[in-house]
Structure 1
Amino acid sequence: MSSTRNFVIFGATGKQGGSAVQWLSKSNADISVYAVSRDPSSSKAQQLTSLSNVKIIQGDSAQPEQVLNQVNGKVHGIFFAPVGFDAQAHIKEGKQLIDLAVQKQVGHFVFSSTDFSGYRDKDTGISAIEAKKEIEAYLTTSKLTYTILRPVGFLENVFMPGYVEAIPHFWPAPIIKSGISTSDIGRSVSEILLEPSKFDGKIIELSGYDALPEEWLKTWEKVTGEDLRKREKKMNSDMPEERMKLLKFIIFNQNDARAENTKAYFPWVQDLQAFLEGAKAKSLL
């Protein structure tokens, strides 16, 4: 019987899934990483083909049986992180994937949910967030061993148009804002899948940096030399309604996750300064 452990990463060309694939590929363990992509011929998927122990397979979470049938042997772990705003699709895909994982006796299930910013037991009015609550509840009552991750906003968002301009102009001064790098999310997924017994049944909130907007501005200026207050105020008024609701929810609510709690599990998470310095070294800033 083969001792190889098989891990299936849905959304392998996305930020979280792609990072998980990369970190798993660095492991010295005897593993096979099945990176799931709707289009294996895409440039992002092809970039993964050079990684050790990685196999690109065609599919998505809408047809999980088709995906898992391509795995050679037992599935030891699954990573699932729904993205976008189609809440009903997320719920359907999440539940059917969990049901199939139970049926196939998958070893461990890692679900990347979200930080609920004080609204875990209250309705946010945002369907994409409420869908993650429903998937969480379904997973915790299943027969699977599992870990739920609740990441805050990605530090990589600083590369998005208008994001850093929002810090001085739109972020409420008294509210602590948090961030986590997608690389660190992927690294945490890798550690969980490789040592599932350490994380079984855990719900882990993920943050690498928590600070008032003033501290975000100071750190940005320390690393880049730029005072963000001098940037022009920008706000995209053409956003779809659901996306605008989510943006306002993120801006005006304080995250639940705290870096000090995350570091109890993953002491290596990056803070904002380390993240920006890394980005600067790669000429991304």
Structure 2
Amino acid sequence: MPDAGRTAEHEPALAGSGDIVFADTITVLPDDAPGAVVICGSHSGRYPGYLAARSGVRAVILCDAGIGRDEAGIGALPYLDGLGIAAAAVASTSCRIGDTADMVARGRISAANAVAQRHGVEINMPTMAAAELLRAAPLRSVMPPALGEARSLARDGGGRRIWLVDSAALVEPGDAGHIVVTGSHGGLVGGRPEKALKVDAYAAVFNDAGVGVDQAGIARLEVLDRRGIAAFTVSAASARIGEARSSFEDGEISVVNRIAERLGARPLTPARDILLAWADTPDRP
């Protein structure tokens, strides 16, 4: 396992029992998250694990995002295990990704790291039952080394830019009119349509997070269609969630919205091929 920073053997466990707090995305945690058990609608990839550790949580429960390629959808669990922090994931087939209220209402645990298991967390346990157990988990004082998300250009010059951003939170105003390939899931954060994408890009790509219950993992596509933005998801089985470069280089298209279909995107084809073609396509009428 890669070095995740100071491990449980090198840091004391702090006393006390944590509260339970809620967040639809790990990129915006409430002020009372430090020392608490956080139930969060984000995928449980490695970077969300880093953000949880950096925020000083006692424990975190995220969504497994269909687990997917190289088990990237639960990469936070071994990462946090190395830091002595309890972590678990709920099945995307049991509740809507990005929707913490639904995680609480319907979510069932699909995976847990060793720290969480030692505190009684088991597969198929309801979300809140697991969270209650994790209130007694150790609070570790850790300073994980920086694990920065990537934002880079896959293509520049001669047409539209193709931006690779590991999280949709990294989209910038200047991305309007260009192509944005994200490592984020294709669900709506908190079920809020206005959170689908920060800018009016020419096109946007997301990971389908295994699609999941109520087709939550692809919910952004229809919203972006109404905004005039071509969008599709790549399958979680083909690309590592949380890694935009994997979406671009490895991703196989799984679901397309109407605009993307009119522009030639089709399921079961390589994402890279259609994105490079779109980069040189004249503005659509």
- With normalisation by structure 1, the TM-score equals 0.29
Looking at secondary structure, tell me which structure has more strand per residue.
2
- With normalisation by structure 2, the TM-score equals 0.29
Looking at secondary structure, tell me which structure has more helix per residue.
1
